[in-house]
Structure 1
Amino acid sequence: MPGLSLIEEFLNTVDERSFRRHGQIHAGGDQLTSPDALARWLAAHDLADAGTALDQDDLAGTLALRTALRQSLLGEADPATAFADHPLQLVPDGAGGMRVAARSGRRWLDVLVETVAEAACRGDWKRIKLCAAPDCRWAFHDTSRNARGRWCNMNACGNRHKTRAYRERRH
């Protein structure tokens, strides 16, 4: 089962960053703009075979999951909303135990949903966050000891935030 790094990469297929750094404006974008782009991303992450034919419904379902997960991380939606179209059930794991399984008919969505569900059960999901900087919102795995990280990168987003706060206090 893939780990949270897959979920982090999936959430970051949309780049909402729009900040200026060292005089350069970072303009984000979306990696999943077509069924072909989705197929390439899935193949690169071993979630589908290379050349898998996908359609607009596959793309729409994938984007809906990504959007729901991002909204739940921002507190804009109930986390259960992300799974509304992806019912979960317990199935035998082959080793005499049970595991959570999704049955959407799309293997890549099932893997993503199962990974999030298992992370939630372990308590690891709380460590996937979106950067607190409103001009960033990059998904990151918070590895801080107390799970209170706010920025994807302290040297960039955290520093910009602290510099802004300092300048505001000085005025």
Structure 2
Amino acid sequence: MKRYDGVVADLDRVVEFLNTLDERTFRRHGEHHVGGEQLTSPQALSDWLADGTEARPADLRAAIALRTALRESDPATLADFPVRLTPGPAGHLRLAAATGRPWLDEIVEAVAASVARDDWKRVKLCDAPDCRWAFHDTSRNGRGRWCEMGVCGNRHKTRAYRERELSRRGERLSPSE
């Protein structure tokens, strides 16, 4: 995990965290993409953090629980990651998490700050059911649906076009098309 400054960078770091689970299962240029779990062990978590943290099994469980709660917007699990207001530099208030894991606190605090700024709605999962890749929607109107328009959006639009054409002719599209 890299250290970033700024609002967009904070959300990009959260998106990187969310994408440690790759649920993509689509075909592209004849190649089948098989996703997977990046956080398979405490060592894998340490490698992803890349800051010298020696992750333990409990750290891995906490990271996966937070990632799952964020991907699914699960309020019950999110309650396990409370945030409170604390005095910050120069007497300003700041949002602070207290998970006991500084690296996890950074993610929780970035999410809480983005919710407070109303930016969290721009962190999305791709609408393609065979993708679900997390992305930061930087479109002007905030209505982006696809992680990549040229891949997922194009596949969706091509499929919808084919369905319309076949429907017009009275045929049906097979599930694999």
Instruction: State the TM-score, normalizing by the size of structure 1.
Output: 0.89
- The structure with higher relative contact order (CA 8 Å, sep 6+) is 1
Q: How many residues align?
A: 159
RMSD: 1.2
Unaligned 5+ segments in structure 2 are: 167-177
Conserved? CA contact 1:128–1:142, under 8 Å: yes
Aligned match for 2:78, one of 79, 83, 96: 83
2:151 equivalent to 1:156: yes
| Structure 2 counterparts to residues 56-67 of structure 1, below 5 A | 56-67=57-68
Matches within 5 A, 1:1-150: 3-43=10-50, 49-50=51-52, 52-72=53-73, 77=74, 80-150=75-145
Cα deviation for residue 3 of structure 1 reads 1.0
Conserved? CA contact 1:83–1:113, under 8 Å: no
In 2, the alpha carbon distance for the partners of 1:109 and 1:82 equals 15
CA distance in 1, matches of 2:93, 2:77: 23
Secondary structure at the counterpart of residue 140 of structure 1: strand
> What are the Cα deviations for residues 94-151 of structure 1, in whole angstroms up to 9, with x where unaligned?
2111001011101111110000000000111010000000000000110111111000
How far apart are 1:82 and its partner, in Å? 4.5
Q: Which whole-Å CA distance do the structure 2 matches of 1:34 and 1:12 have between them?
A: 16
Change (3 A) 1:69 1:16: same
Residue 53 of structure 1 and its aligned partner are, at CA, apart by 2.4
Check whether the contact 1:92–1:98 (CA below 8 A) recurs between aligned residues: yes
Give the match's secondary structure for 2:91: coil
Structure 2 equivalent of residue 166 of structure 1: 161
Q: Helix, strand or coil: the match of 1:95?
A: helix
* C-alpha distance in structure 1 between counterparts of 2:108 and 2:163, whole Å: 42
TM-score, reference length from structure 2: 0.86
Percent identical residues: 62
Give every structure 1 segment of 4 or more consecutive aligned residues whose post-TM-superposition deviation is greater than 2 Å: 80-83
